[in-house]
Amino acid sequence: MPLKKKFLTALFLLFLSSVHAQKSQVWKEVQAGVWKTQIGNLRHISLLQAAGAKSLPEGLKSLPQTGFPLPKDEIKFKIIDKKIYLSFPLASDEQIFGLGLNFQTVNQRGRIMNLHVDHYGGKDNGRTHAPVPFYVSSRGYGVLIDASAYMTVYVGSNVRSDSKNRPPIQDRNTDKNWDSQPPSDALEVLIPADGASIYVFAGPSPMQAVQRYNLFNGGGYLPPKWGLGFTQRVPTLFSQDDIIKEAKSFEDHQFPLDFIGVEPGWHSASYPCTFEWDPTRFPRPKAFLDTLSRMGISANLWLNPYVSPKSSLFAPIKKYTGSHLVWNGIVPDFTLPQARKLMRDHFVKHHLDIGVGGYKIDEVDGYDFWIWPDVATFPSGTSAEQMRQIYGLMVQEMTASWFKEKNKRTYGLIRASNAGASHLPYVIYNDYYSHKDFITALVNSSFIGVLWTPEVRASKSAEEWVRRMQSVCFSPMAMLNAWADGTKPWTFPEVAQAVNDVANLRMQLLPYLYTTFAQYRFEGKPPFRSMNLVDGFAFKPKGEKGKVDATENPYGMSIKNDIKDQYMMGDFILVAPMFAGEKSREVYLPEGKWYDFYTGKLVGENQKIQITPSLDKIPLFVKDGAIIPMVPVHRQAPKDGQHYPLEVRHYGQKASTWKMYDDDGRTFDFEKGAYTWTELGVRRGENGQLEGRPKQVSPKANFGYMPEIQWSFMTK
Amino acid sequence: MPLKKKFLTALFLLFLSSVHAQKSQVWKEVQAGVWKTQIGNLRHISLLQAAGAKSLPEGLKSLPQTGFPLPKDEIKFKIIDKKIYLSFPLASDEQIFGLGLNFQTVNQRGRIMNLHVDHYGGKDNGRTHAPVPFYVSSRGYGVLIDASAYMTVYVGSNVRSDSKNRPPIQDRNTDKNWDSQPPSDALEVLIPADGASIYVFAGPSPMQAVQRYNLFNGGGYLPPKWGLGFTQRVPTLFSQDDIIKEAKSFEDHQFPLDFIGVEPGWHSASYPCTFEWDPTRFPRPKAFLDTLSRMGISANLWLNPYVSPKSSLFAPIKKYTGSHLVWNGIVPDFTLPQARKLMRDHFVKHHLDIGVGGYKIDEVDGYDFWIWPDVATFPSGTSAEQMRQIYGLMVQEMTASWFKEKNKRTYGLIRASNAGASHLPYVIYNDYYSHKDFITALVNSSFIGVLWTPEVRASKSAEEWVRRMQSVCFSPMAMLNAWADGTKPWTFPEVAQAVNDVANLRMQLLPYLYTTFAQYRFEGKPPFRSMNLVDGFAFKPKGEKGKVDATENPYGMSIKNDIKDQYMMGDFILVAPMFAGEKSREVYLPEGKWYDFYTGKLVGENQKIQITPSLDKIPLFVKDGAIIPMVPVHRQAPKDGQHYPLEVRHYGQKASTWKMYDDDGRTFDFEKGAYTWTELGVRRGENGQLEGRPKQVSPKANFGYMPEIQWSFMTK
């Protein structure tokens, strides 16, 4: 066949394969309540592959059996010119949650998201640290689009001309209710890639759809117990002696401290990084880590993965790096096993082998001015766009595997993540620093299988300080990040006691919090939860029509209300943080009776309440029948062989049972069955009094607690 | 050949054709000083095609002859996976201007632009009303990338690992001058399309590169004289009688008014639109237009091009529209001749045939929530992305052609434009309304062949009002847009006189301004010009290192300075607008002596001056040797047969000559030679006094002015 004819044949076949829409799509149930279909050719590494996600079938099977949760014939796919066009139906009352770590909005219905790994730039437009292409519907199902591309999701924002439910024609001249955004009955996605896997997750509740999503990706990561204690990050140029001194000052102040963050100065050069200890500031790194360890403290090392010419890693890894530099450092192509191996060997030798407990992995998100550009190329042939979407996942998965090799749990910080990350030991953080929006991010993290910390840096007032410290203690990582200015928990003396109190309260709640994370691991339930995932919470967002104004709002756009400043920690505790400058706030209580955590008093039921709390406490509300295991104040999580006395609180009037989890708190032996679930029950005794059972748990069933249980009935 | 083998062959050929880089690129000189190369396959309509751009070879030939202005071997191209990767060299001192209608920055060196037609969202990131993929270098050349795609331009923002001029490795730990954005020696572009034409324009000056760019696209549009008068837009629901009354009130106030803007209420239904007169508010549209015409006033009709089911156009045009609605209106596919023809016939019949003078074409830019989404499809097969990039161009070109059919010039408003638009009769506007940023947009419009008006709507104070009215009178369209609130020029009585004065001054400057637009038409010189296009202006932008702050600026990013609040109107007048709240300002004067426009007094030379002007005047400075033709105050531009007396001012001490343009001011007869250029000269007479020549121009050479010239020497 002459070359020209061959080329024409090629073009024709290309035309056939790319222009024609796929007529019907086969959905295969790949796990209980999880269906998959594949569109086009998967030539590239997917998000779930990059995350190394492996399902937990036993967890998935324990959820209710259910059928495919959407009308299949209303899901439409086509491929045009190497791009995938998707359309999913939306019911008129449906709310859509997820689609990335958003900071200002919860219900994404009506929005447009261009999912793109990036630092958060102040708008919920899809550019964020974890632009996860997963959404969960208020109607109780979830959808994941597994493709590492900058896809755009139109969440019922634009109306199709063939829509079955076309909104009425309005005349802006005369119709006062004219709407600049007529409602659409389709969620549409444009994926600039010629292949993607789509997953649909059954509920039947939104929470169960999220659980399936997390369990499909391996469940949540179970942090080491020390990971749930307090952590402080030290100023950049602190030496090993400065850090030991810093740790001692926490002892002096009787302030909790389980791990300490070591900032860029530990590198012999950083930005770009050597990943080698600086000989002047850290002359004896092993001795330094050993000293910390004797103080019960784990060390977490800051890094970004861009390699300095001054590192011994530079020469061998150079050929496995991309076409562009980040701060003049080379960018390893971690889709290549050779690059991963070189990185592993360097890190294990210099860090893990001498006792480093974890990493803070910075600047893998963006922003565009310093990360590799989309015109970059990589030796594996992976495009820059795709590399951007998966880099954070790959560094999480890779570093996690090194600790797993040592049968040692880690817990660290990451700036970029994506789908499939729930099983990875990292908490997302950033520099954005709006306290209120930080809480909204915590709410949103619950939909998409990631963790988020509203970290504390500096504050303009004692009020801001205590309010920030309170909420960070009710988050996945209780962190003070003092890299730039050396703030301490006691920096504002007038609130130092209140700050110490809330850190102590977090330490007391460790058995409850650890169980909450075990629920994440075994049941897929996010530890910190949006109200929209709570049974019996049926808040309907209201759109309020905006006033037309020639200069401020020429289209009279409406403003949407969300519940975005309160959340659940685990099954029972509703957290309603306070923000500087606000003396009172509203709290929405779901169905059932709710009690004040501190006093046990009834506060309301299925209603909106107004509270005016004091400065020294974060408002916490507890569900009727709540069972909350606690320990006395300790500065650190229990170590091997340590046992803390157990107090179990009960709130309200309801008889109830709840299972408390425990294990060794530091290894992966739990994966081989070395763990316990203790059923804690409260029933009404013969005299009508509430009674707790058991009074004592089998010593064998207990890793970190004494066998005796002290039951406290908080509601009199 | 079995199908499988055929498919593999196809894939292999596809691989060959898509992955391999093109080794060398042929540059063809397509016009004097304009070179073109083509990359990949041009399957789609290009920007210049959509704009209907046709070169003016005679204008191009009159510019200095020059060679290809860049080192060809340092321009690199490749195509990977259907995307084009471009790299152009940058010298270390080079400044880059253009790349869209930016509102906050002028020199784009170091920035990243994703060129995407959109409303302006508050950041110079490429999403703007005219994301023109053209840049001009301070080294005196220009580059146009003619592709209708959302391309990303890295303007020396990211460093390649194979760079010849790699910035030094720094250590942020210890180096105080560590820079979060190390300088790059490459401008790189990622074009998500498999075909593009690239043009390089010679200078040798930046202004000449811009001139070539504009002349290559047909030169600038020469507005009708009435287009340079004052215009008021009326409240949305005004009836024809209300509008006549409004026009009369301008007569009563002796305020200039050449055309009037009729807002959505003229449609029988709008949003979506019918393009048919509302019978209650406009019972006799022809009589209404005739009455206005008798008052010397042209009517400009607002519209957006989304068709209402209530329009008689709906049924015939339906099959030529896209898959998605905009405000429930159908979206015509104007790449189809059938759609254009239907639109033309409807518009000519209902508007042009009865005397409508122009259009304001709204909402063809975005934003995403109401324009068609990127998942939309169109019957021509043009992608939604491409349609977004060219829609504004197409509606400009299409409507312009209808007026041209009638040999009648028009002048209107548009919200979206792109490359190749200089020859189109439209001025860009938006809702953003920052006065300062509006001026920066005016500065930036000069690089990219578009016009921009810093329109006035409302103001919070008399000071703001007069300052805004002053600067809009020194812009391509002197417009008060009162659609929402019915403001009038005399709304603030305390500054009513000052506002009238500046509108009168604009009318007096008509001969100068009209010539300035003729320079745009014949020589490609933008009428309103950035200082960076002025010979003898060599401002070096300084980057000031920012202070590291944990919460406000964690990377210590630097702040760049630009000259973005002053500009040239034509060859001689430097405009330095004042902004509300600022009593004094800096003005940068280029080389040569500069004089106060009002007094003729010397103010400085090649220096930065501080001025503290009064509220009643906009600061204007004039170049040594300036020749400025003016007329007495008139409310309107001269009509056919009207002749105004001519005063020609001279500033400074220099003998000089300058050519004044004139023609009939309303038809295209000038394209057949019906125009004049009158050389106005000032020389030193025998007694050392300055003398103006001629004293009188041939009556034949004058369309709108009396033959006598009154020479005024402003500098004593």
To probe the interface with A, which of B43, B268, B304, B374 has the most A CB atoms within 10 Å? B374
Question: Residue A172: which of B17, B161, B264 has the nearest Cβ?
Answer: B264
Distance from the A415 Cα atom to the nearest Cα atom in chain B, whole angstroms? 14
Mean pLDDT computed over B462-487: 96
Distance from the A435 Cα atom to the nearest Cα atom in chain B, whole angstroms? 11
pLDDT of residue A584 exceeding 60: yes
Mean pLDDT computed over A170-178: 90
CB atoms within 10 A of CB A281: 21
pLDDT at B96: 97
- Per the CB < 8 Å rule, is B328 touching A485? no
Question: Residue A173: which of B267, B322, B481 has the nearest Cβ?
Answer: B267
Least confident of A333-337, A686-690, B219-223, B530-534: A686-690
Place of tokens 């080079």: B94
pLDDT at A540: 65
Secondary structure in 3-state letters for B107-172 = ECCCCEEECEECCCCCCCCCEECCCCCEEEECCCEEEEEECCCCCEEEECCCCECCCCCCCCCCCC
Place of tokens 């629920």: A519
Mean pLDDT computed over B453-475: 97
> Tokens at residue B399, please?
């409507």
Please state at what angle helix A496-508 crosses helix A510-523, rounded to 10 degrees.
50
> Tokens at residue A455, please?
């970290």
pLDDT at A4: 53
User: Which of the listed CATH numbers 3.20.20.80, 3.40.50.1370, 3.40.47.40, 3.30.930.10 matches domain B225-527?
Assistant: 3.20.20.80
Mean pLDDT computed over A379-388: 97
Among chain A residues, the shortest Cα distance to B435 is held by A551
What is d(CA A126, CA A107) in angstroms, rounded to the nearest whole number? Answer: 13
To probe the interface with A, which of B111, B154, B166, B171 has the most A CB atoms within 10 Å? B171
- Per the CB < 8 Å rule, is B383 touching A80? yes
What is d(CA B121, CA B101) in angstroms, rounded to the nearest whole number? Answer: 12
Q: Is B391 helix (H, G, I), strand (E, B) or coil?
A: helix
Distance from the A416 Cα atom to the nearest Cα atom in chain B, whole angstroms? 17
Question: Tens of pLDDT along B174-221?
Answer: 998 898 889 999 999 999 998 999 999 999 999 999 999 999 999 999
pLDDT at A535: 85
Helix (H) or strand (E) holding A467: helix A462-472
Beta bridge partner(s), residue A190: A85, A152
Could you tell me the sign of the dihedral formed by the alpha carbons of A112, A114, A118, A121, in that order?
negative
**Beta strand ranges found along A600-699 (DSSP E):** 602-611, 620-623, 627-630, 644-650, 656-663, 675-684, 690-693
**Rounded alpha-carbon distances, angstroms, from residue B306 to A136, A142, B38, B386, B658:** 34, 35, 35, 18, 47
pLDDT of residue A297 exceeding 80: yes
Please state at what angle helix A510-523 crosses helix A206-216, rounded to 10 degrees.
80
Distance from the B216 Cα atom to the nearest Cα atom in chain A, whole angstroms? 29
What is d(CA A86, CA A79) in angstroms, rounded to the nearest whole number? Answer: 9
**Residue A484 with chain B: CB contacts under 8 Å:** 548-550, 554
Distance from the A367 Cα atom to the nearest Cα atom in chain B, whole angstroms? 11
Among chain A residues, the shortest Cα distance to B15 is held by A10
pLDDT of residue A546 exceeding 50: yes
Judge if B19-162+180-216 and B225-527 fold alike in CATH terms. Answer: no
CA A216 to chain centre: 16
**Residue A10 with chain B: CB contacts under 8 Å:** 9-14, 17
Q: In what order do the strands lie in the sheet with B585-596?
A: B528-529, B567-569, B573-575, B620-623, B585-596, B602-611
**Residue A166 with chain B: CB contacts under 8 Å:** 325, 328
Least confident of A83-97, B69-83, B695-709: B695-709
What is d(CA A696, CA A711) in angstroms, rounded to the nearest whole number? Answer: 10
| Cβ proximity of A45 and A382 under 8 Å | yes
> Tokens at residue A325, please?
């530099």
Which pLDDT band holds residue B543 (cuts at 50, 70, 90)? low
- Closest among A282, A250, A256 to A268, alpha carbons compared: A282
Q: Which residues fall within 8 angstroms of residue A325, CB to CB, at 6 or more apart? A: A272, A306, A331, A372, B158, B159, B160, B161, B166, B182
DSSP per-residue string spanning B320-369:
GB-SB-BTTBB-B-TTSHHHHHHHHHHHHHHTGGGT--EEEE-SSS--TT
Among chain B residues, the shortest Cα distance to A19 is held by B381
Mean pLDDT computed over B546-560: 73
Mean pLDDT computed over B44-70: 96
| Cβ proximity of A172 and A178 under 8 Å | yes
Among chain A residues, the shortest Cα distance to B278 is held by A173
**What's the CATH code, domain B19-162+180-216?**
2.60.40.1760
- Closest among B489, B470, B459 to B233, alpha carbons compared: B489
What is d(CA A624, CA A656) in angstroms, rounded to the nearest whole number? Answer: 9
* Count of pairs with CB atoms under 8 A, one residue in A, one in B: 224
Which pLDDT band holds residue A367 (cuts at 50, 70, 90)? confident
Question: Residue A182: which of B170, B269, B328 has the nearest Cβ?
Answer: B328
Q: Which residues fall within 8 angstroms of residue B688, CB to CB, at 6 or more apart? A: none
- Per the CB < 8 Å rule, is B160 touching A325? yes
Which pLDDT band holds residue A560 (cuts at 50, 70, 90)? low
pLDDT at A703: 86
pLDDT of residue A34 exceeding 50: yes
Please state at what angle helix B285-294 crosses helix B240-252, rounded to 10 degrees.
10
Question: Residue B323: which of A81, A160, A278 has the nearest Cβ?
Answer: A160
| Cβ proximity of B39 and B79 under 8 Å | yes
Among chain A residues, the shortest Cα distance to B263 is held by A173
Which pLDDT band holds residue B542 (cuts at 50, 70, 90)? low
Mean pLDDT computed over A485-497: 95
Among chain A residues, the shortest Cα distance to B329 is held by A169
pLDDT at A558: 67
The angle subtended at Cα A103 by Cα A101 and Cα A107, nearest 5°, is: 80
pLDDT at A545: 67
Question: Tens of pLDDT along B651-700?
Answer: 999 999 999 999 999 999 999 999 999 999 999 988 889 999 988 887 77
- Closest among B488, B42, B575 to B249, alpha carbons compared: B488
Place of tokens 């391999």: B20
In whole numbers, what is the pLDDT of chain B averaged over residues?
A: 93
Distance from the B220 Cα atom to the nearest Cα atom in chain A, whole angstroms? 30
Residues listed for chain A = 716
Could you tell me the sign of the dihedral formed by the alpha carbons of B108, B113, B118, B124, in that order?
negative
To probe the interface with B, which of A19, A158, A164 has the most B CB atoms within 10 Å? A158
pLDDT at B10: 47
- Per the CB < 8 Å rule, is B173 touching A376? no
**Residue B311 with chain A: CB contacts under 8 Å:** none
> Tokens at residue B184, please?
């790059």
What is d(CA B259, CA B371) in angstroms, rounded to the nearest whole number? Answer: 29
What is d(CA A474, CA A618) in angstroms, rounded to the nearest whole number? Answer: 9
Which pLDDT band holds residue A16 (cuts at 50, 70, 90)? very low
pLDDT of residue B492 exceeding 90: yes
- Per the CB < 8 Å rule, is B458 touching A550? yes
Question: Residue A328: which of B166, B383, B457 has the nearest Cβ?
Answer: B166
Least confident of A76-90, A578-592, B173-187, B251-265: B173-187
Model pTM greater than 0.90?
yes
| Cβ proximity of B86 and B188 under 8 Å | yes
What is d(CA B397, CA B393) in angstroms, rounded to the nearest whole number? Answer: 6
Q: Domain residues of chain B, as ranges? A: 19-162+180-216, 225-527, 627-713
Could you tell me the sign of the dihedral formed by the alpha carbons of B168, B172, B175, B179, in that order?
positive
**Residue A167 with chain B: CB contacts under 8 Å:** 328
> Tokens at residue B213, please?
């760019």
pLDDT at B544: 64
Distance from the B404 Cα atom to the nearest Cα atom in chain A, whole angstroms? 31
- Per the CB < 8 Å rule, is A180 touching B550? no
**Residue A81 with chain B: CB contacts under 8 Å:** 383
Which pLDDT band holds residue B16 (cuts at 50, 70, 90)? very low
Query: CA neighbours within 13 Å on the CB side: how many for A90?
Result: 30
Distance from the A636 Cα atom to the nearest Cα atom in chain B, whole angstroms? 28
To probe the interface with B, which of A161, A383, A387 has the most B CB atoms within 10 Å? A161
Question: Residue A369: which of B112, B327, B369 has the nearest Cβ?
Answer: B112
> Tokens at residue B324, please?
């998605």
**Amino acid identity, residue A511?**
P
